[in-house]
Structure 1
Amino acid sequence: MTNANPDIDALIELCKEGSRNAQFEVYNRYYKPMYNTALRIVKDSHWAEDIMQEAFLKAFTKLDSFKGEVTFGAWLKRIVINHSLDNYKKINKNAMDPLDNVLYKVEDDNYKEEAAIDFQNMQVQQVMAAIQSLKDNYRVALTLFFIEGYDQEEISDIMGITHGNCRTTISRAKESLLKKLNA
């Protein structure tokens, strides 16, 4: 897959050659969405900024591993998400429930609650506040699922949990979100 913007391909090539100007241009194009991604995970603006900058440094040093199979933005976002989760887990060792220690059975009926949430009549701030008030593993799972657009298989890889536990976490997170929004 090639990038939708051929200009970014040229910038990436210049970055690989060590061009500081090209790196600065790439940073300027992507820092806002990458900062917002980190902020949604770590919930602290200073921490999110540090993580975002460290992720850019990591990306610039690993540009040779970028093969163009996905867009550059998607590749960079994955680095930011992984770096955010790694740092968040280090600081909050008990923040993420050890889901692999618990077996859950998920009924397919659990996916019907999506229709029960009337997002159109709510303010974005209400929904975001409700998501931010969820348990950490629920908040991260819903952020990756609804906001970042990852599928359950990708989320299970990112969070380091089994696919079944990912389904359960997302299902329970949706249920918890629904309760908060209806309260």
Structure 2
Amino acid sequence: MEAVYIDKHYQLVAECKQGSKKACFDLYKLYSKAMLNIAFRVVGNMDEAEDVLQEAFLDAFNRIKDFRQETTFGLWLKQIVVHKSINLLRKRKMEWAELEDGELENIPDEEPDDQEETLYKVERIKEAMKELPEGYRVVLSLYLLEGYDHEEIGQILNISENTSRTQFLRAKRKLSELLKVKGLVA
């Protein structure tokens, strides 16, 4: 069953490359909701997320001939959506928290696997994340929800890996505080 699903996606991409508007529309229908959610988690505003979505699909369809299917269309499109979202944030001149002296020594190489993270429910986090400062929300979204590591986040956002780690740790602390204030965690 899964092979048929994958083959259908490759077939749609092949038809798009040949200029089929219907295939492009079918790909849009398949991926638009997931990509809108990704854009929204990064930019934090539905109107802007919708703009990012449209720009990402336009860009993808204009560059579809460059897509070599070394990865899935969804992953390729996700990368475009994330980059478009980050570019939008850069236009907003996103402010990053500055590192203070001595903070780099306190950043662990890897985040500890603790059960605290597993206690958070996705919906609770999403609601509380809307209240985080933009830089915190972006790094937290890219790390927890989109699966990027700190090195990749650093490259995407044009920040150091350590800045990504710092933003992530601060975002986690702030998110925890927000969830406590709302009475969502003890």
Partner Cα separation in structure 2 for residue 158 and residue 4 of structure 1 = 30
Q: How many residues align?
A: 177
Can you give the 5+ residue segments of structure 1 that lack an aligned partner in the other structure? none
The correspondence of residues 93-104 of structure 1 with structure 2, limited to 5 A, is 93=93, 95-97=94-96, 104=103
Within 5 Å, which residues of 2 pair with 1:1-183? 5-90=6-91, 92-93=92-93, 95-97=94-96, 104-105=103-104, 106-108=106-108, 111-112=111-112, 115=114, 117=116, 119-120=118-119, 122-183=120-181
- Secondary structure of the residue aligned to 2:78 is helix
1:35-57 superposed Cα distances (whole Å, 9 cap, x missing partner): 11111122222221121011101
Percent of pairs identical after alignment?
36
CA distance in 1, matches of 2:150, 2:71: 18
Instruction: Encode CA deviations 1:63-112: one digit per residue, 9 max, x unaligned.
Output: 1222222211011011011101111221x22x33275x877404328834
**CA shift in 2, pair 1:19/1:180, >3 Å:** same
Q: Which whole-Å CA distance do the structure 2 matches of 1:159 and 1:109 have between them?
A: 20
Question: Using a 3 Å threshold, how does the CA distance of structure 1 residues 3 and 177 change in structure 2: closer, same or farther?
Answer: farther
Distance 1:165 1:3, change over 3 A: farther
Contact 1:3–1:71, Cα closer than 8 Å, also in 2: no
Give the TM-score normalised by structure 2.
Answer: 0.83
5+ residue gaps in structure 2? 182-186
The CA RMSD over aligned residues, in Å, is 2.6
Normalised to the residue count of structure 1, the TM-score between the two structures is: 0.84
The answer to whether the 8 Å contact 1:51/1:80 transfers is: yes
Give the Cα–Cα distance (whole angstroms) in 2 for the partners of residues 4 and 152 of structure 1.
32
Alpha carbons 1:16, 1:63 under 8 Å: kept: yes
